[in-house]
Structure 1
Amino acid sequence: MNYRLETTAPNTPDDVLAAFLTLDDPARRNALSDALLDQLSALLQQAASDPRVRVIVLTSSHPRIFSAGGNLDAFADDRATIEKYAGLSRFPALFRTLTGIDKPIVCAANGDVLAGALGIALACDLIIAKDSIRLGCPEINVGAFPFMISALIFRATGRLVANELMMTGRLISTAEAAAAGLINKVVPDDEFDDALRRWISEIAAKSPLLLGMGKRALAATRDLPLESALDYLQAQLALAFTTDDLPEGVRAFKEKRPPQWRGR
């Protein structure tokens, strides 16, 4: 894993940064080993705790692969079942970390997103992808099943699309993925880096406080009955009225100037 901080756009203050977390095991096609998952979790926590970071970006150093998914060698080795079971908590823990961090997390899919990596992408808040990549759950082709990521797939797309992905192992294009609601934005390969920068800059310009409140509210209400969700969201809106950022945003809009977020 590589970790770097960059300003979100030219001429932005030094204390407004994006954290880039790069999967960097190209020889193994960024297979999601225990060590890599532990590093990723630690770096996510580091970015989450840095007050200068407005946006977190996950990407890959491999020229064609974001990640090939779980480490197949570990699936078929001769360790005792109890030892393998002990490591299974890493994926759900990582998904909870991704959804629990207040800051927006962007998956910059600059290569194929396969198997468990699709779960990581879907646990992010937004996905931007190169037009040439493929996405899918090929686990069934090697006698496995995408148990851990099925809950995320079902929350991102319809049941029949999810079933087809998991039961056939077919890889899909970005056009199919976008139509199914699995990615937000598809960009021609040669425009990807510039499009990613523009997106990061746009997101980083929003109130970090309100984005964090909104992300927590979405996570808390996603699976609630409507009445319970509305009660919770009403309380969150009332809480937003007590912040300095909400009236500052309205004043800035009326005065046609950039807002000065105070984070309180």
Structure 2
Amino acid sequence: MSESPLKVWLDRDGTLLRLRLARPKANIVDAAMIAALRQALAEHRDRPELRAALLDHEGPHFSFGASVEEHLPEQCEQMLKSLHALIRDMLDFPLPLLVAIRGQCLGGGLEVAAAGSMLFAAPDTRLGQPEIKLAVFAPAASCLLPERIGQARAEDLLLSGRSMDAEEALAARLIDDLSDDPEAAALAWFDKHLAPHSASTLRFAVRAAREEYRQRIFAKLERVETLYLSELMATHDAVEGLRAFLEKRQPTWENR
């Protein structure tokens, strides 16, 4: 597919970087999407007038998640390392990264969203980490969600594979704002709370606020990535769960 999976432009007189997932309706977080996001963040992060970025999406759903095909043993190391590099790029982005969400926000899609600074969501939003149903786990979410919503709520999502609706996600602080038009809400928040500030001082404020948070996430992400690649993917059930999903059949667990 030659068309870019991501639309990128500058808004608000060059002070707001706009990033839009552009492969509806699924907006799968595959190698091409990851590469496009990383490139856009790298190209624009040093613009001196920039005050924030806003990530949103075309179509009814933010993202159904990462590519299951790329999770298979032949590709999973490259896929996981590139996704985790994107998560680190997002956490390293020197300015607030706002996220506007509608519809399904699942798996790798929620991992990307949760690496943002503030999440604005519509009432139809559903957020979840269904990886456990395929006999794998979500490494980045295992690092991000406990920080964002606390250990117990994070384990609820990570171990059950269920989704939260928007009201529950707001109460859990998984999302920060609930609005019929999350894009408009994010833009209004930018206009009121970020646009008036010094762009250079915002960068220092972001560094100061995130310093220990970033260190914790980066260190844990490295450990859980090794756990996933070296131990989980050596099990029968992890490969069986992924293949069963792709073959549209029920998995046969051997508990090993």
Structure-to-structure mapping, 1:100-115, within 5 angstroms:
100-115=92-107
1:23 maps to 21
The Cα shift of 1:223 comes to: 7.5
2:69 maps to 73
Which amino acid in the other structure matches residue 48 of structure 1?
A: R
RMSD: 2.0
The Cα shift of 1:224 comes to: 8.1
- Aligned residue for 1:148, secondary structure, equals helix
- In the alignment, the residues of structure 1 paired with residue 130 and residue 141 of structure 2 have an alpha-carbon distance, to the nearest angstrom, of 12
Answer yes or no: is 1:208 the counterpart of 2:208: no
Structure 2 stretches lacking a partner, 5+ long:
1-5, 217-256
Answer yes or no: is 1:199 the counterpart of 2:181: no
Answer yes or no: is 1:153 the counterpart of 2:174: no
- In the alignment, the residues of structure 2 paired with residue 192 and residue 224 of structure 1 have an alpha-carbon distance, to the nearest angstrom, of 30
Answer yes or no: is 1:5 the counterpart of 2:30: no
**CA deviation map 1:123-167 (0-9, x unaligned):** 111111112111011111222211232100111112111111011
- Aligned residue for 1:145, secondary structure, equals coil
2:239 maps to none
Is 2:49–2:199's contact at 8 Å kept on the other side of the alignment?
Answer: no
After superposition, the Cα gap between the structure-2 partners of 1:198 and 1:162, relative to the gap in structure 1 and judged at 3 Å, is same
Structure-to-structure mapping, 1:1-264, within 5 angstroms:
1-7=6-12, 14=13, 16-26=14-24, 29-62=26-59, 64-76=60-72, 80=74, 83-187=75-179, 189=180, 191-202=181-192, 203-222=194-213
Is 1:24–1:30's contact at 8 Å kept on the other side of the alignment?
Answer: yes
- Aligned residue for 1:67, secondary structure, equals coil
**CA deviation map 1:62-84 (0-9, x unaligned):** 2x2101111012224xx63xx53
TM superposition score normalised by structure 2? 0.76
The Cα shift of 1:21 comes to: 0.5
Quote the sequence identity (%).
27
1:10 maps to none
The Cα shift of 1:85 comes to: 1.5
- In the alignment, the residues of structure 1 paired with residue 116 and residue 85 of structure 2 have an alpha-carbon distance, to the nearest angstrom, of 14
After superposition, the Cα gap between the structure-2 partners of 1:34 and 1:48, relative to the gap in structure 1 and judged at 3 Å, is same
After superposition, the Cα gap between the structure-2 partners of 1:88 and 1:223, relative to the gap in structure 1 and judged at 3 Å, is closer
TM superposition score normalised by structure 1? 0.74
**CA deviation map 1:140-198 (0-9, x unaligned):** 122221123210011111211111101111111111111112111111x2x43432221
- In the alignment, the residues of structure 2 paired with residue 90 and residue 167 of structure 1 have an alpha-carbon distance, to the nearest angstrom, of 24
After superposition, the Cα gap between the structure-2 partners of 1:178 and 1:158, relative to the gap in structure 1 and judged at 3 Å, is same
Structure 1 stretches lacking a partner, 5+ long:
8-13, 226-264
